[in-house]
Amino acid sequence: MIKYALKCAEEHRFEGWFSDSADYDRQAADGLLECPVCGSREVKKELMAPAVATSRKREEAATKLKAFQTAMNESARRARDYVEKNFDHVGKQFPEEARKIHYGETPDRPIYGDATPKEVSELKDEGIAVAPVPEPVKTPTETKRKLN
C-alpha cells in the first residue's frame, strides 16, 4: 500500500491509499478520484517526503504498539470481570436461554455462556442481540505461571 497526499482544483488537501503507484495512475486516468470536501474530480498528487523508518522510529512504534496492546488487554480483562460478576453463566445452554429471554418465556436477565459461530449467526438472524465476551490475551509470563 502507498499513501499519497492529494489536492483538488479547489485547493482542498486530503490523503488517499492505493495498492501501488499504477493503481493511483489508473484511478486518476479513469476519473475515479474525487475530493471528499467538494466532489471535484480534478485531483492531483502533491509532493511528499518519503517515510523512512529509522531504528528510533521502529522502537517508538514498537513501544506505542506494546502500550496499546496492554491497554486493550486491560480493557478486555475489566469487561470479562464485569460480565462474570454481574451476569448469569448458562454455559452451553446460552442459545436456548437467550431465545427464552427474547421471546418472554423467562424473566429478562443478563446472561453469558457458550455458542458456536453458527448459533450466534442464528440468534442474530432472529433479532437477538449477542456479543462476544472479550478474552484477554495471556502474556508469556502469565502462561508460564499457570503451567507451574
| pTM across the whole model | 0.53
Do residue 69 and residue 131 come from a single domain? Answer: yes
In the chain, the number of structural domains is 2
The Cα 31–Cα 16 span in angstroms is 14
Question: 14 - beta bridge partners?
Answer: 6
Do residue 123 and residue 70 come from a single domain? Answer: yes
Do residue 28 and residue 81 come from a single domain? Answer: no
Strands of 23-144 (E only): list them.
Answer: 43-45, 88-91, 111-113
For cell 478520484, name the residue. Answer: 33
Do residue 123 and residue 60 come from a single domain? Answer: yes
Q: Is 144 part of any domain?
A: no
Strands 111-113 and 88-91: parallel
Do residue 133 and residue 61 come from a single domain? Answer: yes
Do residue 41 and residue 13 come from a single domain? Answer: yes
The per-residue pLDDT string of the chain (148 residues; one tens digit each, 9 = 90 and over) reads 889 999 999 999 999 999 888 999 999 999 899 999 999 999 999 977 666 667 888 889 899 999 998 899 999 999 999 999 999 999 999 999 999 999 999 999 999 999 999 999 999 999 999 999 888 777 665 555 555 5
The Cα 38–Cα 43 span in angstroms is 11
Do residue 107 and residue 66 come from a single domain? Answer: yes
Do residue 17 and residue 73 come from a single domain? Answer: no
Q: Is 145 part of any domain?
A: no
Q: Is 117 part of any domain?
A: yes
- Of the candidates 76, 83, 141, 73, the one whose C-alpha atom is nearest the C-alpha of residue 112 is 83
Domain that holds residue 32: 2-45
